Structures are given as C-alpha cells and as structure tokens.
Structure 1
Amino acid sequence: MQDPDIRPLARIEAQVFRVPLDRAVETSFGAMRDRPAVFVRLEDDEGAFGWGEVFANWPAAGAEHRARLLVLDLADLLIGQRFADRHAPFHDLTARTRIRALQGREWGPFDQVIAGLDIAFHDLLARRAGLGLARFLNPDAPDSVPTYASGIHVRGAADTIAACRAAGHDAFKIKVGFDLPADIRATLSLVDGLAAGERLFTDANQGWDVPQAIRFAEAVGEAPPGWIEEPIPADAPPGDWARVAAASRAPLAGGENIAGRDGFDAAIASGLFGVLQPDIVKWGGLTGCGPVARAALDRGLTYCPHYLGGGIGLLASAALLAATGGPGLLEVDVNPNPLRVAFDPFPDGTAQNRLILPDRPGLGITELPESLAPHRTLQASATHKGVQMG
C-alpha cells in the first residue's frame, strides 16, 4: 500500500567536501591526509527534503567518484519515483543497480551511495512527520546515547586519552596494528592507567595475520581491553577467526567491512563476535542496518555502530543506536574534522560521554553549515530537466 506521505522525488544533490590535515590520520593499512565527506540531499515534488551521507574515506579519490555515481548512474532510478514505503528505495535501488555494479565491479560504491540515499529518505519522512529520526524509527527511543572516543593512535595515546577524559569521555579506542611489541606494551600500560569506570578498546584495522593476532590477544589477556576489533582481515576464513577468538579473553569486534544481510547473518551465527559494528554509510543505511542491529542484540551480541565520517552520518548513527537500544556505544572520532564539528554534536559545556539527539524533526539539519563552503570540491544535482555538475 502506498504511504500517502510519500511523494515523488523531484531533485537529488550531492556535495563533496575535503579538509586538508596538518597531521594525517593513520591506520595500519594507510593514512588519511584529508577529511572527505559526501553529503546528499533528496527533495520531493512538494519541497520536503532530507539529508544523508555517503562513505568516502577510502580510497583517497573516492568522494568525488561517489557523488558522480549518485547523480550520473542513479538519477534515472530516482527522479519522478514514488516509493511505496521508507524501505523501498534501499531494496529497489539495490535490485535495479545489481547489473550496473556487476558490469563495473563497483559493488562497494553502489552500496555506499544507496546507503546515503536511504538515510536521506528516512530524514525526509521523519521531517514530514514532525519527529526526530530516532523517535520516527522507535517512539520509545531515548533522547541521548552513550559514546566512546575513537581514532586514537597508539603512539601518544596517553596524552590524547587525557584530553578526551577532560572533555567528558570515559571510554576510548586506540588504533593498533603498527608495531606488535610496542602495541602490546602500550595497551597494557593504558589499561593499567584507566580510572574507575573507564574502558579501553583496541582496533587493528585488519593489520595482523593470525599468529600476530593471537600473540596480541594472549599478551593482553591478563588485563584485556573491552574488545579487539578487526585483528585480521574481515574476509579471512572463519577458521582463522575461530583461532583468534579461542586465544582471546577479550571479545572480538567487527562489521564495518561486512556487507549484505547474508554476510551479517553468517557473522552473527558464527558465535565468534561479541560486538557487531555495521556502518550505515557503507552498507544498508537504516533499512539494512536496523534489522542487523536487532538480530545481533537478539543473539546476545553488543551493537556498536561503526562510524568515522562527517556530522550527518554521525547523527544518523546515533539515531539508529537510540532506536535499537542495547548496551552499545556510539563511535565518536576525536581526530580534527570540521566536517563533523560544524554540526555541533556536542554543544559547549556538554560532557562528551553522551550525545544528545537534536530535538528538531529528522536529523535536525536544515542547511549545511556555512563554514563548510570553502571546503567544497564538487556540487552535482539532478532533476527531471537533467544533470548539473560544478
């Protein structure tokens, strides 16, 4: 049945932003030398609109590509379309782009663009309903979610954690996977230095092989961190993950590099993960990741949304966490990123161990902050009249 509040889509727009960094954000597999973001705006034929965000961190040239993909390859499937319900764009676009993605072996980029569109469509409908996005998804959603400070390089982590603690954080995640003996020493030292009630998590970003991952897990076993995230490649055989899990007193975490409901169902059923981390801007949006999160909770796993991008995706991740519930935390990258900070997720004086959801309809965003304009590298849009690129 057609939802009467859903109108035909009349305009899509993608804006790309890049902010140069004085100091790169390092992971075990590479370094980000700028902070990119792709923000998406959908508008229907009555002027109602919604905002979304598309994953753009990797590859380095990916942001502009995602924006062009959205406008040039999906506009014909969007403009003039009147979808049946809030989930229909995700399912319809996934099905109708399958051959396009296969032709260019571009499954990831198509998944990411569709995820951003799904978020924008939900924002549009929540705004039409006059509800915050979390309450649109679940009328009983709370008005805030707990957070943890993320993106902390193991080198210099003590100083960064001290600064995060001063900002109100009480949970921290360090990036390891660089120098195994040094990673072990630093992790043990940092766990030892935690105050009462504080937690430390580790993320290797797929940086180890199985023997290295086992060595780390065993070495920190007497004072295990809250979790060990992606110690080995996400696509490693289940037997490899089982060997690491068997050696670890800390639960294993993963999910940012899993796509598709079948992939998540297999991960949940494996029993190898204690923490599941789907990323709503990489695959699934709210339509795909909501059921995954609920399935994880039903199996006793902790749902912690992965996120390391701009402000729109952060607010959407917070909304889904609030709507889903459970003991999970929202990931808050603490590296410099004006594309996140401009959305003011933590107003002055707010302790950053919780993010208070906006009390305005949808994601609470009407226009993009003016401060972002100097960082725009591309703006592209499509209507029934055609495509504009600039």
Structure 2
Amino acid sequence: MIKIARIEAFLFRAEVQEPVKTSFGSIPRRSALLLRVEDKDGAHGWGEIWCNFPPFSADNKMRLLETVICPAALSGSYLDPPDAWHALSARVHRWAIQSAEPGPFAACIGGLDLALWDLAARRENKTLRSMLRGKATVDSIPVYASGLNPDTAQDAVARCREAGFRAFKVKVAFGSEIDTRVVSGLARDLRDGERLMVDANQGWDLVEARRSVRRLGEYGLGWIEEPIAADRPASEWAELALLSAVPLAGGENVMGYDAFATLIERGHHGVIQPDMLKWGGVTGAYAVGREAVMKGRSYCPHWLGSGIGLLAAAQVLAAVGGPGMLEHDVMENPLREALGQPFPRVKDGMFPMPNGLGLGLEPDIKASAGWLLNRAEYRSSD
C-alpha cells in the first residue's frame, strides 16, 4: 500500500548557447520539472514531467501540480504505482476535458507515476528494471545520440563518436536541399557499424513527405521519424510506409492505450517511440514497449530532458528487452547530468545501466541551485 505524505516540486531552467532546432520551432533554453515523492514511512522516489516545449510550459505545469494534481494525489491510498496512475487518471479526467488541457494533465500524472515506481523499487531493494521484469535484466542497452542540429551535425557527430556513440539522429524538414546535403554528408562519413536516423518532427505535408521518404531513404537510414503529423489518417501513414525503403518511426505524440494498440497493430510504424512523461508514465510505457516487441516492432522510447527522465527511459527499455535503442539527447543541457548523479557514460555504443536502487541515481539539488527557479512542497493533511 502506498500513502503519499509529501510531494516536492522543483523547477529548473538553464540558458544555452545553441538552441535545439526543429521543424516546428526552436528550444532556446532547457527546463526541467522534477518531483520528489515521499510516503508515510519516509521512502522516497524521483519523477520528471515533460516540459521542453513550448519553452515555458514547465511554469504552467508547476501551477497545475499546485492547484489540482498534488491535492488529488495526496488524498488517496494506492495498492501500487499502476493503481495510482489509473485512479488519478480517472479522477482528473473531467477536469482535463473542462480545461482543454489533457496533455499537461497526462504529463503531470506521468511524472508522478515515475516517482512512485522509483519509490516502490527502492522500498523493495530493487532496480526499477528488475522491479518491472521480475527477473535478471541486461546491464547495458544500445543508445543513440539525439537532437543534432543540421547546421552543426558534422561536428556533433565527431564529438559524439569520441564520447562513445555509434548511432546518431539528425533533425530534418528544413527544405529538400538542406536535408539532402546534411544527410548525404553524414551518411558518407559513417564508419563500420554506425547508424544514422532522421527526425522530421511532423514537418512535412503528405506531398513533401512522399518525396522526402523516397529521397532520404536511399541513404540507408535506420528510420525516418514523424514524417507527417502524428494525427494524420492511417491511409497517409500506410502510403509512406510503402514508399519508404526504411522503417517509419513515431509515438512520442500519441496518447492512450487504444491509440498505441492501433498504431502497433496497423504496422505502418516499424519503430515505436512513446514518451512516458508525456503520457502513461512507467505504467503505460512498459505496457506499450512489451506489446511493440511482441508484435515484431522496435521499442525506442522518446526523451529530451534531464537525467531523471533519461534513466527512466533506460530502465524501462532494459526491462522490455530488444530490439530497441535509448534516445540520448546530446545537445547542450547542463541540467541533464547535474539532475542525474552518478550519470552513466556511453561506451562502444552502449549505455551502462546503474545498479543502484530504483532509477539508480539522485539529482544533485545543491549543485543545481543556480538554475532553480521555483520550489514548492505539498503535504498530506492526515
């Protein structure tokens, strides 16, 4: 039984010299919204809430935690983390509709779910992956360098290669000339055993996507991610899957068990990429990952935030098993390492899994004090 006694929220923001550039806009600063949840016995766990875009979306979610999510969470008792996720999702369902903000509600509950899983695993003296799987799991997982901007991709790949990465993903959908030049140059310089993927971030309409998946697919890519908007009709995804010589990827902008079950069953996505901290938390992501792998797809969880979310994605991927790769943002972000200590270092294309309890890390709040914008605490009235 879990009875939450206290929830702390920490909002961090760091300015960076090189924004992350995407087809839908840029991310000029890096934010992180963390949760520390403590039960009545003093056990604790850490969670993170998705907030990288728009640039100040974390501020909205901080107020949502204060006014709605934390009071709801503190008022109940739960059998386990999945019970809490389902109970809270049901409780706030009408509020999310009324406010026209189902995404922020889902993100806050996803972060809380992660914190409760971390707490539960620590109480059981287990790693999160062993708590999920119930048996021995892998000690390292394949990883790829993500977030590469097209105008600095060559230098970034060289830097990431030195840091141990053997797979790389670059942003596209900046115009056919730019995309072709960047992708062809990176593909030409790949070494034996290395892989290249591209992410369009929903940047093409169907007409341009038809041209682009054929053209870019000729470079032997690992996948083409989100060539069109995530909510486009299945007929459009089906057409592009047939036209592309390489798998299509997506899932970070999909919400709900039914939506993921349909996406996996249709088979137009060869690579399934749920973002557990946009929707579902560990509870939803683990279920989606298992189903994806069982149906012959690759499971590559999406993440672009601090070290807490990165380790959560890694732990779930390790529990699900392959095939799949961990998305590791490599663009400038001082919050990534500081809010996840000890931070694992990539070696030979593999991400080493920590053996500490739960997520296997703790955020260094003191070392990150210079980036802390807001801190709040909520307690149970019991």
Report if aligned partners of 2:344, 2:352 keep a CA contact under 8 Å in 1: no
**1:265 match:** 261
Match of 2:347, SS state, is: coil
Q: Corresponding residue for 1:3?
A: none
Q: Which residue of 2 aligns with 1:178?
A: 174
CA deviations on 1:178-211 (whole Å, 9 max, x unpaired) are: 1222202321222122111100000000011112
What do residues 300-347 of structure 1 show as CA deviations (whole Å, max 9, x unaligned)?
A: 100000010111000110000000001201000110111112225655
Match of residue 125 from structure 2:
130
Aligned to 1:161: 157
Matches within 5 A, 1:191-230: 191-230=187-226
Structure 1 alignment gaps of length 5 or more: 1-5
3-state SS, counterpart of residue 368 of structure 2: helix
Query: What corresponds to 2:37 in structure 1?
Result: 42
What TM-score results when the alignment is normalised by the length of structure 1? 0.94
RMSD (Å) for aligned C-alpha atoms = 1.5
Letter in 2 for 1:145: I
CA distance in 2: counterparts of 1:278 and 1:330, whole angstroms: 12
2:13 equivalent to 1:22: no
CA contact (8 A) 1:169 1:351 kept: yes
Q: Secondary structure at the match of 2:207?
A: helix
Match of 2:313 among 291, 294, 317: 317
CA distance in 1, matches of 2:229, 2:313: 24
Would you say 1:77 and 2:76 are equivalent positions?
A: no
State the TM-score, normalizing by the size of structure 2: 0.96
Query: In the alignment, does 2:348 pair up with 1:362?
Result: no
Residue in structure 2 matched with residue 91 of structure 1 by the alignment: 86
Deviations 1:8-32 (A, max 9, x none): 1111111100001122111110111
Which of residues 268, 277, 281 is equivalent to 2:277? 281
Give the Cα separation in 2 of the matches to 1:179 and 1:32.
Answer: 19
Q: SS of 1:231's equivalent?
A: coil
CA distance 1:347–1:289, shift in 2 (3 Å): closer
Match of residue 242 from structure 2: 246
Matches within 5 A, 1:361-380: 361-366=357-362, 368-380=364-376
1:93-132 pair list within 5 angstroms: 93-132=88-127
Structure 2 residue matching 1:305: 3-state secondary structure: coil
SS of residue in 1 equivalent to 2:74: coil
DSSP-derived class of the 1:38 partner: strand
Number of corresponding residues: 380
Alpha-carbon separation, structure 1, partners of 2:34 and 2:222:
33
TM-superposed CA distance for 1:370, in Å, is 2.1
Answer whether contact 1:345 1:355 (CA < 8 A) is retained. Answer: no
Gap runs ≥5 in structure 2: none
Judge conservation of contact 1:48–1:124 (CA < 8 Å) in 2: yes
- 8 Å Cα contact 1:13/1:71 also seen in 2: no
Question: Which segment drifts farther, 253-262 or 156-165?
Answer: 156-165
Query: Does 1:188 find its partner at 2:181?
Result: no
Please, which of 28, 33, 39 is the counterpart of residue 33 of structure 1?
A: 28
Change (3 A) 1:363 1:347: closer
The 10-residue stretch of structure 1 (296-305 or 149-158) with the greater mean CA deviation from structure 2 = 149-158
Q: Does 2:304 correspond to 1:308?
A: yes
CA contact (8 A) 1:132 1:362 kept: yes
Task: State the match for 2:4 in structure 1.
Answer: 9
Structure 1 residues 301, 96: closer, same or farther in 2, change over 3 A?
same
Contact 1:20 1:33 in 2 (8 A): yes
